[in-house]
Amino acid sequence: MPLRHIHRPDRAAAWKKALLYGLAALTVFAACFIVYFFYSWGTDGDLKEFVDNSAQLTSLARPDEPILPIAIPTGLDTQKVALGQILFRDTRLSRNNTVSCATCHDLARGGVDHLPRSFGVDGAEGDINTPTVYNSSFNFRQFWDGRAASLEEQAEGPILNPVEMASSWEHVVSVLEEDPQIRARFRAIYGGAVTPVRVMEVIAEFERSLVTPSRFDRWLKGDERALSDKELEGYRLFKRHGCIACHQGVNVGGNIFQKFGVMLDYFAGKTVTRADLGRFNVTGREEDKYVFKVPGLRNIALTAPYFHDASAQNLHEAVAIMGRYQLGLDLPSEEVQLIVLFLTTLTGEQL
C-alpha cells in the first residue's frame, strides 16, 4: 500500500520570509529613530515642522479632560477675513470718525483696553467692563448678558450703541461706498454693494480667525513638558474645588449662564446698577437677575481688570472672590497662587 504524501514546508522559503520581515522591522525602527533624533535636537529643515504639524492631526491625547484644545479654524474666507480686519480698525464706522472696534478691543493688549469701562464717541462712558474679542467664536452667546446669538449680531451692537460708536447703518454704508478700495473689495467678495449684513459678516469672519492656542493646549495633546509641576497642581485644584463646573470646554467657559453669587450675595450692600442685572435686562425674568454668561478664561492673565464690574484688579483677587462667592470657599493664599499659575498657561499666541 503506497504511503500518503506528507507535505514538508520549504525551509529555505521560510527563512527568506523571516529575513524580509526582519529587514522591514529594522527599517521602520531606523526611520522612527531618525525622526526622534532630529525632532529632539531640533533642525532648521522641514522635518521638525512636519512632525509639529502632524502632531496637530493626531487624536486628542487626554480625552477625559473637561477642557478641550483649541481647534485651528478652517474654511474661513480669506478675503472676508482681510476686509474684516480693515473694518475692525476703521474709525469711520463711528459717527465722528474717532472710535473703532480696536479702540476697546486692542489686539496687542489681550483684546481689551484694560479700563473698568470703555469710552466711546465724545467721551461717553460705557456701563460694563469690555470682554476680550480673542476666541470669542467659541462662546455660545456674545456680550456679558448673552443678548447676541452670533458674532455677526454682536458686530452690529457697538456700531449702533449711542455710548460706543453712536453711528447708523446709513452712515456706515455711505462712508464705505465712497472709498474706492473698500467698494472694490466688497464687489470682489459679494459681487455687489456694501450692505449692513455684509459689513457684519466680514467683521465676524475676521473675529473667527482670532484664536490663540496655548501651552495648556500642548499639554492636552500629550506634551508632558508643556506644564510645570506647580501649574499642573494648580489645574488639579481648579478641578477639585469645582471651578471646572463653569469653566470648561474649548474656551474654558463662555458656554453657559451662571448667577454671580451662587453661595453668597455678591451684591449685598452695593448700589446695584443696570449692568449688574445681567441677563435680566434681556429676558425680564426675575430668576435671571445677576446672571451672566460665564467668561472664557483663555488669555485671562492679559485682560485685567476682571468681572463685569471690573472689581478685581488682578488674578489673585479674582480667584479669591470666585472661591468665596461661587464656591463658598476661603481659598488659602498658597492655593490661589497655584490656580493663578495654571491660569497663566492659558495665555496663547494669535495665529
Q: Which burial class, exposed, middle or buried, applies to 111 when counting CB atoms under 10 A from its CB (0-12, 13-18, 19+)?
A: buried
Q: Which three cell numbers stand for residue 141?
A: 452667546
Q: How far apart, in whole angstroms, are the C-alpha atoms of residue 89 and residue 191?
A: 24
Q: Which of 345, 249, 247 is nearest to 301 (CA)?
A: 345
Q: How far apart, in whole angstroms, are the C-alpha atoms of residue 340 and residue 316?
A: 7
Q: Catalytic positions, please? A: 164
Q: How far apart, in whole angstroms, are the C-alpha atoms of residue 156 and residue 317?
A: 33
How are beta strands 291-293 and 257-259 bridged, if at all?
Answer: antiparallel
Q: How far apart, in whole angstroms, are the C-alpha atoms of residue 112 and residue 305?
A: 10
**Are the CB atoms for 102 and 111 separated by under 8 Å?**
no
Residues near 134 by Cβ (< 8 Å), separated by ≥ 6? 107, 110, 111, 210, 211, 212, 298, 299, 348, 350
CB atoms within 10 A of CB 290: 20
Residues near 236 by Cβ (< 8 Å), separated by ≥ 6? none
DSSP codes of every residue in 151-204: HHHHHHHHHH-TTTT---HHHHHHHHHT-HHHHHHHHHHHSS---HHHHHHHHH
